[in-house]
C-alpha cells in the first residue's frame, strides 16, 4: 500500500519538478540541449519545445488532480493508510 502511494506522489512530483527546472528563456533551453546532447536546436524550435513540455506537464498534473479528487474509497485507500 505504501509503494502505491509513493508512486502516486512521484507521479505528481515529476511534472512539477520539470516545470520548475525548465529554463524560462528559449535561448537557454537551446543552449542546454546543445550542451547536454550535442544537438543544435534553433531558438524557434526551442520555444516550440518549451511550450510543448509545459503543456504536457500541465495536462499530466490536471489528470493527477482529477484522479485524486475521487474519494479515498474509490481509489482503494482506507482511512489513515491502514
Instruction: Identify whether the C-beta of residue 3 lies closer than 8 Å to the C-beta of residue 9.
Output: no
User: Tens digit of pLDDT for each residue in 22-43?
Assistant: 888 888 888 888 888 888 888 8
User: Tens digit of pLDDT for each residue in 73-82?
Assistant: 665 665 555 5
Q: Which residues contact 27 (CB under 8 A, 6 or more apart)?
A: 43, 46
What is the Cα gyration radius of the chain? 17
Amino acid at each position: 500500500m505504501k509503494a502505491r502511494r509513493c508512486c502516486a506522489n512521484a507521479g505528481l512530483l515529476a511534472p512539477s519538478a520539470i516545470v520548475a527546472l525548465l529554463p524560462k528563456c528559449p535561448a537557454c533551453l537551446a543552449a542546454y540541449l546543445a550542451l547536454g546532447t550535442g544537438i543544435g536546436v534553433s531558438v524557434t524550435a526551442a520555444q516550440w519545445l518549451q511550450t510543448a513540455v509545459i503543456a504536457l506537464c500541465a495536462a499530466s498534473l490536471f489528470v493527477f488532480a482529477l484522479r485524486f479528487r475521487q474519494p479515498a474509497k474509490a481509489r482503494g485507500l482506507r482511512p489513515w493508510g491502514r
